[in-house]
Copies of this chain bind each other. A is one copy, B any other.
Amino acid sequence: MNMPTQGLPHYRKLYEILRKQITDGVFVEGDILPSENELCTIHKLTRPTVRHALDTLVNEGFIRKHHGKGSIVHKLPKGIGILSIAGTTSALGKLNLRSEILVKPIVKPWNDPFMFKLSETEINSGCIYMERIRYYNDKPIFYDINFIPNINMPRFTSRIFENRSLFDILRKNYQIEIKGGEQKIRAIEANITIAQHLSVKVGHPILHLERKFDTNRPGFFIYSSIYCNTKEQAVFGIF
């Protein structure tokens, strides 16, 4: 399940260790992590390296630092965290997240117009298209449509996605890492399609996220259009 820490830079290894300890409950909300100097001696690293790891945890909202006190574990979000989440950081509460493929990956031309500006290369290659529903506590919460450039993605359309993270597959089979991204956020009314997929009435307010992910492949971006029913569960973000 977990990725091996071999080959990763030191600060990343330490990050993964501490992150796991927090999500596993070794450290809980309000706990103080070992001090930077202690982490240095424990892991045989120097302070800039340790601080790099801690900075990442701060950016992702797992800890907060307090000058003169220490690094304090922040409360884990109670809602569904899909914002500000990138890289190996996967959605929180994933134990309760189940996904179901609505449209299996197929190769087709890009939608026109598209939500983001595309490069010539992207347009000429076409895209791999798939639709998914994600359930939270057995209720359909997310209906997402994904667009992946059809550039050097062998056998992608025949892979099994059920209950597997799209980003996990991209990382493990194609060595594609998500480095960041941007998104447009809107509140819209559910149309007939969205209403059916999310089990709501037509006209129900829906959160719409249009996202563009940066990857470690230059010029290679992943796009998602996500419709989210926030009636019972808010989407959670940090900044």
Contact = CB atoms under 8 A, between A and B. Distances in A.
Interface stretch (A8-16, A20-28, A160-168, A203-211): A203-211
A235 B182 contact: no
A83 interface: yes
A239 B86 CA distance: 7
A111 interface: no
Nearest to A207: B187
Nearest to A228: B187
B207 A185 contact: yes
A94 interface: no
A185 B230 CA distance: 8
Contacts of A236: 182-185
B189 A205 contact: yes
A186 B64 contact: no
A34 interface: no
A143 to B, nearest CB: 13
Interface in A188-208: 188-189, 203, 205-208
A12 B213 CA distance: 28
A188 B187 contact: yes
A188 B235 CA distance: 13
A235 B205 contact: no
Nearest to A236: B184
Contact of A184 (B210, B218, B234, B239): B234
A230 B209 CA distance: 12
A232 to B, nearest CB: 10
B239 A84 contact: yes
Contacts of A228: 187
Given A59-B59, A184-B235, 5 more contacts: A182-B236, A182-B237, A185-B185, A187-B205, A187-B228
9 contacts: A64-B214, A84-B239, A86-B239, A184-B234, A186-B234, A187-B205, A187-B207, A187-B208, A205-B206
CB-based closest 5 A-B pairs: A184-B234, A187-B187, A186-B230, A187-B205, A187-B207
